[in-house]
Amino acid sequence: MPAPERGRVSTLLLKVLQALCRLSMRIEVEGLPYLNVNGAAIVVFNHLSLADGPIVASLLPRKGVFLVAREFAWIPILNWCLRKVGDPIYINRGVPDRRALRRAIAVLEGGGLLCLAPEGRVSPTGALTEAQDGAAFMGRLASAIIIPVAAYGQEKFWRAWLRLRRPHVRVIVGRPFDLPSDQNRDNTRALMRRIAELLPSHYRGCYDAER
């Protein structure tokens, strides 16, 4: 699968998405140039809110392919928007999904940009939870660069809007790195620790190095 390019509709929807993000949230971004990586790369981000994916998508310098839970495929308008902006790969949560895995690896082998939340679901605790090994496995298999992204503040979206305020969201893009080990578990912990280092301590959860 070749790396996808943005078409006219995709570019237009991206601009709409960026405008909506700016209007609905006060987003402060640090380390944005780190996203300018050519070739196979995986953007891994923490998962505090359903707004995480749109926030990351609005910052990408090239079209990214997002891994998205399959239940979102059944919402027609959302599905159409996702396909135009993020070209999603729908994945079954909680069970092995070899078809989705093959598609994701094909994106990387084509030099594409894959985006996913290794935790696989919105955190029920408001902090990092145990991650799955998919990102580490695919990254190692395709020799992809890993780009860690941490975001926080978006989980307060509705609370802020009920008070007629825009939530202040901080997004920190970390330095891209290669996976250090041949072991999936070790690599998963390494990439989650990279995300944790970008977050305030109370967001680090089970990946807080001081615990």
Distance CA 149, CA 160 (A): 23
Other residues' Cβ atoms within 10 Å of the Cβ of residue 86: 25
Q: How far is CA 56 from the centre of its chain?
A: 6
Q: Is the pLDDT of residue 95 over 80?
A: no
State which amino acid sits at residue 3. Answer: A
Structure tokens at 63: 């079209």
Write out pLDDT tens, residues 101-142: 999 999 999 999 999 999 999 999 999 999 999 999 999 999
Enumerate domains of the chain plus CATH numbers. Answer: 8-207 (3.40.1130.10)
Structure tokens at 85: 């902006």
Which residues, at least 6 apart from 78, have a Cβ–Cβ distance to it below 8 Å?
72
Q: How far is CA 186 from the centre of its chain?
A: 20
Q: Is the pLDDT of residue 209 over 70?
A: yes
Write a three-state SS string for 58-104: HHCCCCEEEEEEHHHHHCHHHHHHHHHHCCCEEECCCCCCHHHHHHH
Task: Give the confidence band of 78 by pLDDT, cuts at 50, 70, 90.
Answer: low
> What percent of the chain is modeled with pLDDT above 90?
61
| pLDDT at res. 146 | 98
Mean pLDDT across 182-199: 95
Closest by CA position to 123, among listed 19, 203, 22, 25: 203
Backbone angles phi, psi at 153, to 5 degrees: 110, -30
Q: Do residues 35 and 173 lie in contact, with contact meaning Cβ atoms separated by under 8 Å?
A: yes
Task: Give the confidence band of 162 by pLDDT, cuts at 50, 70, 90.
Answer: confident
Mean pLDDT across 22-31: 93
**What is the overall mean pLDDT for the chain?**
88
- State pTM to two decimals: 0.90
> Which SS3 state, helix, strand or coil, does residue 57 take?
helix
Distance CA 66, CA 51 (A): 13
Other residues' Cβ atoms within 10 Å of the Cβ of residue 87: 19
